[in-house]
Amino acid sequence: MASVTLNGISKCFGRVEALKALDLEIRDGEFMALLGPSGCGKTTTLNTIAGIETPTTGTVMIGDRDVTKVPAMRRDIAMVFQSYALYPHMTVAKNLAFALEVRRMSSPAIAAKVEQAAGMLDLGPYLDRYPRQLSGGQRQRVALGRALVRDPSVFLLDEPLSNLDAVLRVQTRAELVRLFQRLATTAVYVTHDQAEAMTMADRIAVFENGRLLQVGAPLDIYRNPVNRFVAGFVGSPPMTFVDTEVTGTGLKFGAAEIAASLPMRAGSKVTLGIRPEDVVPAADGLPAVAEVVEHLGGLQILYLDVGGVPIAMQADADHIFRRGERLTVRIAPDRFYLFDPESGQTLA
Ligand code: ATP
């Protein structure tokens, strides 16, 4: 086990600055998710830790060892790729054993490692099969097994679930959480799926455009986003944003006003952020119309028109809403998120 420390990392590909002044510490035994949209620099960060990419500036430490110039194979890390990268002409057993054979480990020791990994990942019945004879989920487990047998001090995983169908993805997500809880090994997990990051990680690092915006525990990121981008990226359905103006007694909200005591001057422009679960039915609330209703079984998502302002609302299934239904809603004032409309930064 080991921590990973990135200090002042930047990475340029020609004129593209893929990473900008990145400082990030991944603690010993921690499961860290790197989260952000396509092209934000997640994979470049992972590859920099792996030694597949050399940073333009900055240092990479694994534990207390500076590995910035150490080649990938001598970093004591194991990588699991989205594509699985299995050897197609080798059986599962051979795929698992291969890296250990290259290291000239003894046959009995290899057999013990393969058996242990196969046991942990439920691969026992498939050891004699070839990758083409496996389902996507089974292939993914073999890819993990190949990393596991090497006992790395750090696991690096690049979107390992993205080739699985929705049901298998959720199932495998929970299996991975259990596995890594048991292993207690440092893991860095790249994903663009906020639900994966929220459900799997001890902490999440959110990236945008080559920059690290925020690092924190999932609920901390969810409840205390540093800016509008993070607030909108984490949570499903996403936070609704409304451009509004501060009044003496609250905030303008379409044709109406919502009462709140705010520290800003009357007349200031702010962006109000509202999470769907913070919109609640209330007899004395604002009139709204449910324009779209999504029934998800135990809960419902309503896309409301509140006096000309479109906002999403999450409701339980006690009362089944219909499209076009009128209701009155309240937005819990202690749950307001306020952002600077220019910079997008969270306002205190
Ligand atoms: P995705 O989820 O799509 O994989 P990502 O967040 O992992 O995205 P990176 O792959 O790290 O993003 O890419 C960051 C930026 O660097 C992108 O603009 C990408 O086009 C660029 N980039 C990455 N690798 C190279 C390369 N080898 N040559 C040139 N540009 C690159």
- Cα(202) to centroid of ligand 1, in Å? 25
Beta bridge partners of 212: 207
With tokens 């952000």, the residue in question is: 36
Cα distance between residue 201 and residue 187, in whole Å: 9
- Cα(158) to centroid of ligand 1, in Å? 13
- List the residue whose alpha carbon is closest to atom 29 of ligand 1: 13
Burial class (CB in 10 A: 0-12, 13-18, 19+), 9: buried
pLDDT in the model for residue 77: 94
Q: Does ligand 1 have an atom closer than 6 angstroms to the CB of 40?
A: yes
Check whether 83 has a pLDDT greater than 80.
no
Mutate to test the pocket of ligand 1, among 44, 193, 211 (most ligand atoms within 8 A of CB): 44
For 31-50, the DSSP string reads EEEEE-STTSSHHHHHHHHH
Q: Does ligand 1 have an atom closer than 6 angstroms to the CB of 11?
A: no
Check whether 58 has a pLDDT greater than 90.
yes
pLDDT digits (tens, 9 = 90+) for 5-32: 999 999 999 999 999 999 999 999 999 9
Would you say the C-alpha torsion 276, 279, 281, 287 has a positive or negative sign? negative
pLDDT in the model for residue 260: 85
Cα distance between residue 110 and residue 330, in whole Å: 62
Q: Does ligand 1 have an atom closer than 6 angstroms to the CB of 152?
A: no
Q: Which atom of ligand 1 is nearest to the CA of 14?
A: 29
Mutate to test the pocket of ligand 1, among 15, 40, 54 (most ligand atoms within 8 A of CB): 40
Check whether 348 has a pLDDT greater than 90.
no
Cα distance between residue 154 and residue 67, in whole Å: 13
Residue 322 near residue 290, CB atoms below 8 Å = yes
Write the CB contacts of 120 (distance below 8 Å, at least 6 apart in sequence): 145, 148, 179, 182
pLDDT-derived band at 85 (thresholds 50, 70, 90) equals confident
Strand-strand pairing, 279-295 and 299-306: antiparallel
Residue 282 phi, psi (nearest 5)? -155, 130
Q: What is the reported pTM?
A: 0.92
Average of per-residue pLDDT across 124-144? 91
Nearest to 185 by CA among 148, 219, 217, 218: 148
Q: Does ligand 1 have an atom closer than 6 angstroms to the CB of 36?
A: yes
Cα distance between residue 332 and residue 302, in whole Å: 17
- List the residue whose alpha carbon is closest to atom 15 of ligand 1: 18
